[in-house]
Amino acid sequence: MRAAAGHQVVFGMLGLTNHGDRPAVLARADLTGPSDEVVADGARVAEVLVRDVSADDDYVAAAPWPYEHYGDGTVPLEGYELAPAATVEVLFVLTVDDVGHWYWPRTEVRYTIDGIGYTDRTSTGFLICPPGVERSCDPPA
What is residue 51's predicted lDDT score, i.e. its pLDDT? Answer: 96
Concatenated DSSP letters of 27-92: EEEEEE--TTT-B-TTEEEEEEEEEEE-TTPPPP-EEESS-TTTTTT-EESTT-EE-TT-EEEEEE
Residue 62 has pLDDT above 70, yes or no: yes
Which of the residue ranges 11-15, 59-63, 66-70, 116-120 has the most confident prediction, judged by mean pLDDT?
A: 116-120
Stated pTM of the model: 0.93
* Average pLDDT of the chain to the nearest whole number: 93
Residue 81 has pLDDT above 70, yes or no: yes
Using DSSP's 3-state secondary structure scheme, residue 131 falls into: coil
Structure letter (DSSP) for residue 101: -
Report the percent of the chain where pLDDT is more than 90: 79
Q: How far is CA 1 from CA 44, 67, 68, 101, in A?
A: 14, 13, 16, 10
Q: How confident is the model at residue 13 (pLDDT cuts 50, 70, 90)?
A: confident
